[in-house]
Chain A
Amino acid sequence: MAETESRLVVHQEGDVTVIEFLDRNILEESSIQQISDEMLELISKTDHPKLLINFENVDHLSSAALGTLIRANTKVTQKKGQLRLCNISSQIYEVFVITKLYKLFEIDKSVEEAVGKFK
């Protein structure tokens, strides 16, 4: 049976799970749904998840992608874990400012900086 190819690249930095996206544009609903499912599965596997989402390769994202990030954040919080975002381009950071989501998320400049801030 053919499996759907993952849209995430996941690796560990110590006890922090770092997630990167294969897609430069996180816009289309079908890929966002898959990203959401994969992220929520990763969160559900761990008791106190420490998740870092690296936006280094991302050029665009839509409100549906923001919704996925919010769902992930809610789930991580419910599991008493931590979620941080990093490497967000200035254009995408502006989306977080406009929507005021910068208040909801911990956003760092780089993977190294973010990893050092997990408790």
Chain B
Amino acid sequence: MAASYDQRLVLDSRLDEVSRAEKVVLEAVVACNFSDTDQFAIKLALEEALANAIKHGNESDEGKHVTLEFHVDERKLTITICDEGTGFDPQRVPDPTLDENIEKPYGRGVWLIKTYMNEVSYNDQGNCLTMVKFRTHATSSSGR
């Protein structure tokens, strides 16, 4: 029978919680046969999304929590991450690849999430992010 996992995690607003969440999600993703490349993308997007939720959403307030819910099967991974902050407008995040922003040492997290995941959406308030990664099929014989 095909593997499928659903889980909900509640994280404290501490950055050391990020690795705990990543471990849970990546174990499920590996069990669903996602490739190394997919795992790299998922780990990166998770890191950025959770760090944003903890630092910018909840402003590292330990009285606030981040919830992470995910569903993964052998077709795709869907993750929703919500913080207790006031939210933000993702349209207003400047393009970090423009020449005027290239030397700024911040502002690349949202861009990386959008690039590495197949679908990214926010709720109206801007404090819940849903991202989807479709499993790519192995091309081990293609070589590079």
Q: Spell out A's residues near B (CB within 8 Å).
A: 27-30, 60, 62-64, 66-68, 70-71, 73-74, 90-91, 95, 98-101, 103-104
**Is A28's CB under 8 angstroms from B108's CB?**
no
Q: Does B5 make an interface contact (CB < 8 A)?
A: no
**Is A62's CB under 8 angstroms from B48's CB?**
yes
Q: Which residues of A contact B104 (CB under 8 A)?
A: 70
Q: Does B97 make an interface contact (CB < 8 A)?
A: yes
Q: Which residues of B contact A29 (CB under 8 A)?
A: 15, 51, 55
Among A70, A95, A98, which residue has its beta carbon within 8 angstroms of that of B105? A70
Instruction: Sample 20 A-B pairs with CB under 8 A, ordered by A number.
Output: A27-B43, A29-B51, A30-B15, A30-B16, A62-B44, A62-B47, A63-B106, A63-B112, A66-B105, A66-B108, A67-B108, A70-B105, A74-B105, A98-B97, A98-B112, A98-B115, A99-B96, A99-B97, A100-B97, A103-B102
**Is A28's CB under 8 angstroms from B19's CB?**
yes
Q: Spell out B's residues near A (CB within 8 Å).
A: 15-16, 18-19, 37, 40, 43-44, 47-48, 51, 55, 96-97, 102-109, 111-112, 115, 144
A90 → chain B closest CB, angstroms: 8
Among B43, B55, B108, B144, which residue has its beta carbon within 8 angstroms of that of A60? B43
Given A66-B105, A91-B40, 18 new contacts (CB under 8 A)? A28-B15, A28-B16, A28-B19, A29-B55, A60-B44, A62-B44, A63-B106, A63-B108, A63-B112, A66-B108, A70-B103, A70-B104, A70-B105, A98-B97, A98-B111, A98-B112, A99-B111, A101-B102
